[in-house]
Amino acid sequence: MKLTHLLSAAALSFAFTGSAFATDINGAGASFPAPVYQAWAAAYKEKTGSAMNYQSIGSGGGQNQIINRTVDFGASDAPMKDDKLESNNLLQFPTVIGSVVPTVNIDGIADGQLTLSGSIIADIYQGKITKWNDAKIVALNKDVKLPDAAIVPIYRSDSSGTSFVFTSYLSSASADWSSNVGAATSVQWPAGAGAKGNEGVAGMVKNTKGAIGYVEFVYAAANKLPTTNLVNKAGKVVKPTIPAFMDAAAAADWKGAKNFAASMIDTAGEKAWPITSATYILLPKNPASAEQSAAVIKFFDWAYTADGDAIAEKLHYIPLPDSVVGEIKKAWSSDVKVDGKAVWTN
């Protein structure tokens, strides 16, 4: 009887502590999707017992860490170039679609009251427009009382996918910016002050009078920072809203995009928000551990479900189209292998 009771107790203990055998995974990279990754991680751990630990260190850091294989997956808003993916034996796939928004701290200016254009923002970050009552800004905001106050541009000091998205937009909107500065995760900023991460930029804008910065939309919302409207490629004034982000995402050429790197920058839709982009995961095609790689895929497979989509939408991200998710799952099965055997099957 005593042995039976002991066995029953052991079985009961196993039933309640099965999560001890769960596989935990580690990732690092972009701050742009960090809020949704962390929210997914909390929900996933509650559901499965498996932990996903994510460090928000910027896209450049995420790329470096996965190249060095110090994490199970890397995260980057800037899609990695094809030759770099190939030389480092990495699979790249998107997770969600988000937006970058200009945010300001101007006395007397409320959220959504100010309108800017890409060319004006490019001139601000090049130090060519230095006052909020500059004639070019006034021309777009005739019903807004703009102060004779200095503009303080805030930019990302770290290697950043958010910067890549933002500078890609400025390059599209301004030939001058494209020629003199360009688009990259890290550029030589002609004017302004730097801060680390979306969190750092949001904090500096919030605490600096006259500031303008760029952050992922959720950071502006979380910090109650006033955002600006933008004049899009169609010449229409648009607000940063979920429908506007969705209009931009709908125009993306997923079928023609190699390694899922579909551009949503400055699309032609009349209602489209012009600074919209997917964010990406980088996963080794030749992982050291089939178990760890399968655990990463299992996590993101869950993230693409209705539960994961609901969490993403609550945080103002746009879930991927079902057709794109289907292609990603095919890539998991065909491309990620250990000793010639797939670590994941649909």
Q: Where do the structural domains in the chain lie, given as residue ranges?
A: 25-98+277-342, 99-241+263-276
Look up the pTM and report it: 0.83
- How much is the pLDDT for 32? 87
Q: Per the structure block, which two tokens stand in for 139? A: 């021309």
What DSSP designation does 260 have?
G
Instruction: Quickly state the pLDDT bin for 9 (edges 50, 70, 90).
Output: very low
CA atoms within 13 A on the CB side of 130: 5
Q: Tell me the C-alpha distance between 328 and 31, whole Å.
A: 22
Contacts of 61 (CB under 8 A, 6+ apart): 28, 29, 158, 159
CA-closest candidate to residue 14, choices 43, 53, 49:
49
In angstroms, the CA 79 to CA 262 distance is 9
Q: Which residue has the tokens 């999560």?
A: 19
pLDDT tens sequence across 185-199: 999 999 999 999 899
Q: For position 252, what pLDDT does the model report?
A: 86
Q: Does the pLDDT at position 11 exceed 50?
A: no
The answer on pLDDT for 18 being more than 60 is no
Which of 3-7, 28-32, 168-172 is predicted most confidently? 168-172
Architecture of domain 25-98+277-342: 3-Layer(aba) Sandwich (3.40)
Tell whether domain 99-241+263-276 is in CATH 3.30.429.10: no
Residue 242: closest CA among 273, 213, 270, 266: 273
Position 222 scores a pLDDT of 85
The domains spanning 25-98+277-342 and 99-241+263-276 adopt the same CATH topology:
yes
Mean per-residue pLDDT over the chain, rounded: 91
Contact between 50 and 300 (Cβ < 8 Å)? no
pLDDT at 236 exceeding the cut of 80: yes
Angstrom distance (rounded) from CA 36 to CA 91: 21
Distances (CA, A) of 105 to 15, 22, 147, 176, 207: 54, 46, 12, 26, 8
pLDDT digits (tens, 9 = 90+) for 140-171: 999 999 999 999 999 999 988 899 999 999 99
Greater confidence (190 vs 10) lies with: 190
Torsion of CA 319, 324, 330, 332, to 10 degrees: -40
The tokens for 8 are 């029953």
Instruction: Judge contact between 275 and 303, C-beta under 8 A.
Output: no
CA–CA dist 97, 215 (Å, integer): 14
Q: 130 pLDDT band (50/70/90 cuts)?
A: very high
Task: Name the band, by pLDDT with cuts 50, 70 and 90, for residue 279.
Answer: very high
Distance CA 228, CA 183 (A): 22
